[in-house]
Chain A
């Protein structure tokens, strides 16, 4: 029996749902191992977006006519789907943004400048994506907030002792940490981080851009205060992301962007902000993209996040075995709990040369610093190659990657 069938779902069946996976690159079957940068889209997402534009598209929250009402209903149904996906306590806790970066910037501006006080501190980690690093540097510069950077262990796990030490003086207003590293694959102990932050009076934000794709996220079980993810990594379209935050926090936070839809009243003298979540959704939102995200969530939940996770765990084990057997290849990060992201260096082969070679046989990997320059400094590498898996990744593709890497090593020897 196929390993993926034992894991609870039929990967070949899943692959049928993704039209792009049957394309060829340089005459070779596409082996797409860059889902961590952006995932491919199933037919269900493409169809839902097209169908909406063909049958029920208009602007939302504006018109008292049939199409606008249909469009608004579809947009709000997407919000409800996200709320169920994250097990949010209240649908109003779901704010649509354009991606994770926009969601984190919203928190940095609104919570950072509007709720936090100069003299307080924000904690991030050494393994953050730039999206969860630079907004806090900008906040630090603009608002007198100190930015503290928690280290990682040599295995690539969050240094919990360092986190506790950096929380100790009680000045920290927010801990903003990735839920899964986009470079090391490390899944962080989010519930423990939240408990520790709360014990020291800090709120906690998780960047779920990678994690939300690979396992079930329950914001209530994690006891998170903010959780962000992006649609395009979850097999949905680009241009839609999510900020989930506790209702009380969203109500306390001032608006970020001003414009239409985020107000209840505007006079020459001023404005009254709309109730949440509209308060944070100025301007025409990504309507069709929200419908696409809804379809993506329906798609992954119909297959089951547990089944997807089981399949990916099996891929991770297989990749670890195959990659660690390649002489001269070093995989970054040896975390106990890790997802389907592998960054590696190959002796005598620069990441860019390697990705050019792999591309030639149809394998798409990312080369560079993966928007995590401070982490690459920490591990002492200029750049790495990264293979990241999706639900459609097969054991055979990993075998092929391993074969190609072995061959590449000979090429550059």
Chain B
């Protein structure tokens, strides 16, 4: 009945949505931030441990739809080991991917990472769901900026 929604809900999304990776609290994390979609009730808390400028560990906890949980799960996997600058670059280009379905500006940088994130690009056809996918990345930016509260409303 819902076969044409497989572009949005690819197997990797359903898998990460059901079993989010890095789904735990980092006690005494160097950086943390809360993300909130007040309209739909998606909520998450992101934890980062830093080694110098590099993200040594990333984890999250939260509740929300499959898209928001899968996006947070994939995000934590993707940014581990990245510098803050690389993570911000990924956040900016993921946003472009989620809003337009493609990333012509990516120019081949971090190609493997962007390929994995491509799984979420289907949301661009669902305007009300884009914010579900971008919440984790907004929260990442907020944490890296030393902030505490993020919202993708």
Contact = CB atoms under 8 A, between A and B. Distances in A.
Interface in B23-63: 39-43, 63
Contacts of B39: 368
B64 A350 contact: yes
Interface string B59-74: 0000111110000000
Interface in A359-405: 360-361, 367-369, 382-383, 403-404
Given A352-B129, A382-B63, A412-B66, A407 B41 contact: no
B92 interface: no
A408 interface: yes
Contact of A352 (B4, B18, B132): B132
B4 to A, nearest CB: 7
A327 interface: no
Interface of A: 348-353, 356-357, 360-361, 367-369, 382-383, 403-404, 407-408, 411-412
A361 B129 contact: no
A360 B41 CA distance: 22
B1 A350 contact: no
Contacts of A408: 1-2
B99 to A, nearest CB: 17
A361 B64 contact: no
A44 to B, nearest CB: 32
9 contacts: A348-B18, A350-B64, A352-B42, A357-B2, A361-B1, A368-B41, A383-B40, A412-B14, A412-B66
**Most chain A CB atoms below 10 A, which of B9, B18, B40, B63:** B40
Contacts of B65: 350-353
A353 B41 contact: no
Given A350-B66, A353-B67, A368 B5 contact: no
A356 B126 contact: yes
Nearest to B132: A352
**Most chain A CB atoms below 10 A, which of B5, B9, B39, B43:** B5
Nearest to B37: A352
B106 interface: no
A360 B2 contact: yes
A360 B132 contact: no
A359 B109 CA distance: 37
Nearest to B1: A407
Contact of A382 (B8, B14, B41, B132): B41
Contacts of B42: 352
Contacts of B66: 349-350, 353, 412
Contacts of B14: 412
B128 to A, nearest CB: 8
A11 B67 CA distance: 38
A360 B5 CA distance: 8
A353 B2 CA distance: 12
Contacts of A349: 66
B8 A356 contact: yes
A193 to B, nearest CB: 31
Contacts of B129: 352, 356
A348 B2 CA distance: 16
A368 B37 CA distance: 11
B41 A404 contact: no
B2 A407 contact: yes
Given A382-B63, A411-B9, A412-B14, A352 B2 contact: no
A352 B132 CA distance: 9
**Most chain A CB atoms below 10 A, which of B2, B9, B43:** B2
A351 B41 CA distance: 10
Contacts of A403: 1
A367 B1 contact: no
Nearest to A349: B66
Nearest to B43: A382
**Most chain A CB atoms below 10 A, which of B4, B5, B64, B65:** B65
B101 to A, nearest CB: 16
Given A352-B40, A353-B67, 4 more contacts: A348-B18, A350-B66, A407-B2, A411-B1
A134 to B, nearest CB: 15
A403 B1 CA distance: 9
Given A368-B39, A369-B41, A361 B2 contact: yes
Contacts of B40: 351-352, 367-368, 383
Contacts of B18: 348
Contacts of A367: 40
Contacts of A360: 2, 4-5
Contacts of A352: 40, 42, 65, 67, 129, 132
